[in-house]
Amino acid sequence: MKALVQRVSSAGVAVSGRNVSSMGAGLLVLVSFSPNDTPGDLDWMRDKLIGLRVFPDDGGLMNLSLTETCGGMLVVSQFTLHADTRKGKRPSFTRAAPPETAGMLYRVFIQKVREAGVEVSEGVFGAHMEVSLVNDGPVTIMVDSPSERE
């Protein structure tokens, strides 16, 4: 599992010109799944993201987590994070999970984040989405689950 995490002051998703999801301050998380992802990867990523200390404390240092700031999370599926660009000019996406698997993992991941007490907004899996955001900082971090590092 890969996640591209952006600290935002606001973010939203539109599909076919219609706003389907929005949030205020928190994390915009673009996620991609591989065929090797396990429930343990989903738990690991959930815990990593909600505990990631990327929000400023009173002194302006990145010392606070999402849970400490009561921020929300907008989760958007983006299989292109698994692009392989080593050869040629066209990316290969063979490292991404097939849509049926990825859709199931996406729904399970969102449920796990909700069960942890985080307010979650979501994109529309498989849809052509327009994602808008105000990146706060900017702060953008790539996070790979343990199975991605094997």
Is-catalytic flag, 6?
Answer: no
Does the reported pTM lie above 0.85?
A: yes
Domain containing residue 62: 2-149
Query: Domain count of the chain?
Result: 1
- Catalytic residue of the set 33, 79, 109, 125: 79
Is-catalytic flag, 111?
Answer: no
Can you spell out the DSSP letters for 31-47?
Answer: EE--TT--HHHHHHHHH
- Catalytic residue of the set 6, 78, 109, 125: 78
Q: Where residue 74 sits, what CATH number does that domain have?
A: 3.50.80.10
For residue range 86-145, list pLDDT tens digits in order: 999 999 999 999 999 999 999 999 999 999 999 999 999 999 999 999 999 999 999 999
Cβ neighbour number for residue 107 with a 10 Å cutoff: 13
- Alpha carbon dihedral 8, 9, 15, 20, in 10-degree steps, equals 120
Is-catalytic flag, 33?
Answer: no
